[in-house]
Amino acid sequence: FENRLVKLLGVKYPIIQGGMAWVATAELAAAVSNAGGLGIIGCGAAPVEVVKQEILKAKEMTDKPFGVNVMLLSPHADSIMEMLYDEKISVVTTGAGNPGKYIDKLKNVGTKVIPVVPSVALAKRMEKLGADAVIVEGTEAGGHIGELTTFAIVPQVVDNVDIPVIAAGGIADGRGFMAAISLGAEGVQIGTRFVCSNECIAHDQYKEKIVNSKDRDAIVTGRITGHPVRIIKNKLSRKIINLEKDIENKDEIDKLTVGSLKKAAIDGDVTSGSVMAGQSSGLIKDIKSCKEIIDDIITEVEDIKGKLYKF
């Protein structure tokens, strides 16, 4: 696997694990990095000391590169970025906002900056501001999403930027990896599949909810709040769908969704918590180690390459 992204990240495989709030801890990031991908610690809305502890833990658990994902809607984003300048992290990814004001300072300390973008316009703006690559996330993804599908948005961004594109959203196996490469991406970011790994600290009920879900269970809620979020159908989603009938409930919906991710992911309350997960959930039928997840993807990729000569 030799391409610009593999060289940029210093990894064996261009497979990035999504930096998901609450569940992307040092254990998960280290397991993915040790298996040849790029593990990412998810800050979510955690304060800077908590994030710093996870970084120190990850440095104990792997000597491979790993990254940190800063969710820009977090009230702690600024203080976390200040800490990251000092930590000289290999890679910083960002989500749910525009990291423009942090890019130069991160690059000055040698950190690679890879923003998640949901559109061509934002991808071009990030390239102009010095981003090293962009993660182009389709609406198939879990959590906070844009409106365009991975299949539609990835080639359009590829045609509009010269930096490496990483495809995200709905990718959970070797077929999705090869599809992303066909669309012009040089790697993939995978979230929901890594939630269903042995090393992920998400509650077993959360993992079971994903494993038992079908193709149409990962639905979008909260479009009226301006922060659409994809979660698995449950009592909470039905409650939110009802609230959405009245614009007055805008703020309550946001609070309900973000506030209850912890309830599902950590406490295991998958009926009144928000089970953030992507449309690949219907593909995920087991819980396995991060190494098995990555090795299975690579095996499938080699199988598909073997069949390609017939075209």
Task: Give CA–CA dist 137/132, Å, rounded.
Answer: 16
Nearest to 116 by CA among 90, 98, 134: 134
Restricted to residues 65-94, the positions that interact with ligand TUI (CB under 6 A) are: 71, 73
Structure-block tokens of residue 15: 């497979």
| 144 touches ligand TUI (CB under 6 A) | yes
169 binds ligand TUI (CB under 6 A): no
Among 24, 58, 116, 265, the residue binding ligand TUI under the rule CB under 6 A is: 116
Q: Are strands 218-221 and 229-232 parallel, antiparallel or unpaired?
A: antiparallel
Q: Which of 146, 164, 273, 278 binds ligand TUI (CB under 6 A)?
A: 146
Closest CA to 189 of 140, 222, 254, 156: 140
> Applying CB under 6 A, does 149 fall inside the site for ligand TUI?
no
The residue from 27, 54, 127, 137 that contacts ligand TUI (CB under 6 A) is: 137
Among 229, 236, 275, 301, binds ligand TUI (CB under 6 A): 229
Q: Of the ranges 51-59, 141-149, 181-189, 286-294, which one interacts with ligand TUI (CB under 6 A)?
A: 141-149
Q: Which residue is nearest to ligand TUI (CB)?
A: 143
Q: In angstroms, give the least distance from the CB of 144 to ligand TUI.
A: 3
Q: Does 276 bind ligand TUI (CB under 6 A)?
A: yes
Q: Is 64 in the site for ligand TUI (CB under 6 A)?
A: no
At residue 95, φ and ψ (nearest 5 deg) are -145, 165
d(CA 202, CA 205): 8
